[in-house]
């Protein structure tokens, strides 16, 4: 019986020591990105039959569990991916909005001058200064379109550079996640216990990956080990709005719309 009392006390001390170690581990990793708090799950040890009944043999540690909700984790990952997509879209579309809506160098002043000249010429088609004013405003409008097309091309090239950078980041994250998946699988098969720190590291990497691509973590999830630039390009544009780089202004030719003589400009009776 004395031996039983000592073993019970020893099991209690071992459980308390494990609890202190886990608490210290939590405190030490309070500032670690992606770390989830861990708790010790205790249970009663297997009782022993003494003939007159079963006597308890103290306590035992069932597992060390991390405080983590998979459903909430998936929601956070999805929200992170959506936020990243919207932030990137806002950054790109803001450049176009500032470029087109500029009160001095935007498109609106040139359009207003052009249509004002057209209206003035329509009221007096034979007025040579009015016709010259329309020609000048048309040239200015064509130049403005060409200037905007060049700026849009620069934005498109910048986006392509960002895609190349994102491809490198995605491949790096994917390779690290693949290595962690292998380590997690080996640890679980060997011990039957969840490797909490490795799971936290994988979840954090998936969260970082969601800033570049929409992925989620689960016990059955697989992550590609590499991305190609073509795949990333298709993914990037699929997540964003329709491309503005496909639009190209046509050069404006006077001969295509300007009459060759005042007689041609006059309406037929």
Q: Does the pLDDT value for residue 269 go beyond 60?
A: no
pLDDT band of residue 95 (cuts 50, 70, 90) is confident
pLDDT tens for each residue of 129-168: 888 888 888 888 888 888 888 888 988 888 888 888 888 8
Does this model's pTM top 0.85? My answer is no
Backbone phi, psi, residue 42, to 5°: -105, 160
The C-alpha angle 222, 211, 238, rounded to 5 degrees, equals 80
pLDDT band of residue 1 (cuts 50, 70, 90) is low
164 contacts: CB under 8 Å, gap ≥ 6: 229
- Whole-number Å distance between alpha carbons of 23 and 193: 19
56, 45 contact by CB (below 8 A)? yes
196 contacts: CB under 8 Å, gap ≥ 6: 36, 38, 64, 65, 66
Alpha helices in the chain (DSSP H): 2-28, 70-100, 108-123, 128-191, 196-209, 229-239, 262-265
93 contacts: CB under 8 Å, gap ≥ 6: 241
pLDDT tens for each residue of 168-208: 888 989 999 999 999 999 999 998 899 999 999 999 998 88
| Predicted local distance difference test score (pLDDT) of residue 108 | 83
| Predicted local distance difference test score (pLDDT) of residue 185 | 93
- Smallest CA-to-CA distance from 177 within 154, 146, 200 is with 200
CB atoms within 10 A of CB 172: 15
State the residue for tokens 């200037």: 147
Angle 70-100/196-209 helices, nearest 10 degrees? 20
- Smallest CA-to-CA distance from 203 within 231, 227, 173 is with 173
pLDDT band of residue 107 (cuts 50, 70, 90) is confident
Q: Is 41 helix (H, G, I), strand (E, B) or coil?
A: strand
Q: Does the pLDDT value for residue 66 go beyond 90?
A: yes
Q: What is the mean pLDDT of residues 12-33?
A: 93
| Predicted local distance difference test score (pLDDT) of residue 258 | 44
CB atoms within 10 A of CB 157: 11
- Whole-number Å distance between alpha carbons of 224 and 156: 27
Among 78-87, 228-237, 241-250, where is mean pLDDT lowest? 241-250
135, 115 contact by CB (below 8 A)? no
Domain boundaries, the chain: 2-15+25-67, 72-265
pLDDT band of residue 259 (cuts 50, 70, 90) is very low
The CA–CA distances, whole Å, from 89 to 36, 68, 107, 109, 264 equal 32, 31, 22, 27, 49
């Amino acid at each position: 019986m004395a031996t039983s009392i000592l073993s019970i006390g020893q099991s209690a001390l071992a459980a308390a020591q494990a609890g202190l170690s886990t608490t210290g581990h939590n405190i030490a990793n309070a500032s670690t990105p992606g770390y989830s708090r861990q708790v010790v799950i205790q249970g009663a040890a297997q009782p022993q039959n003494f003939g007159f009944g079963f006597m308890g043999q103290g306590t035992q540690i069932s597992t060390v569990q991390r405080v983590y909700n998979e459903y909430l984790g998936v929601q956070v990952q999805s929200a992170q991916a959506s936020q990243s997509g919207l932030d990137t879209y806002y950054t790109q579309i803001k450049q176009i909005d500032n470029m087109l809506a500029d009160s001095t160098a935007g498109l609106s002043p040139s359009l207003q001058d052009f249509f004002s000249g057209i209206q003035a010429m329509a009221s007096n088609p034979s007025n040579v200064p009015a016709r010259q004013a329309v020609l000048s405003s048309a040239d200015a409008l064509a130049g403005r379109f060409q200037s905007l097309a060049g700026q849009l091309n620069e934005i498109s090239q910048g986006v392509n550079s960002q895609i190349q950078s994102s491809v490198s980041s995605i491949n790096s994250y994917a390779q690290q996640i693949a290595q962690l998946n292998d380590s997690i699988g080996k640890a679980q098969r060997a011990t039957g216990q969840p490797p909490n720190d490795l799971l936290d590291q994988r979840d954090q990497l998936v969260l970082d990956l969601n800033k570049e691509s929409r992925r989620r973590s689960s016990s059955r999830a697989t992550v590609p080990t590499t991305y190609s630039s073509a795949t990333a390009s298709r993914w990037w544009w699929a997540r964003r709005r329709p491309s503005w780089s496909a639009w190209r202004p046509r050069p404006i030719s006077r001969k295509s719309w300007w009459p060759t003589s005042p007689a041609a400009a006059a309406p037929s009776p």
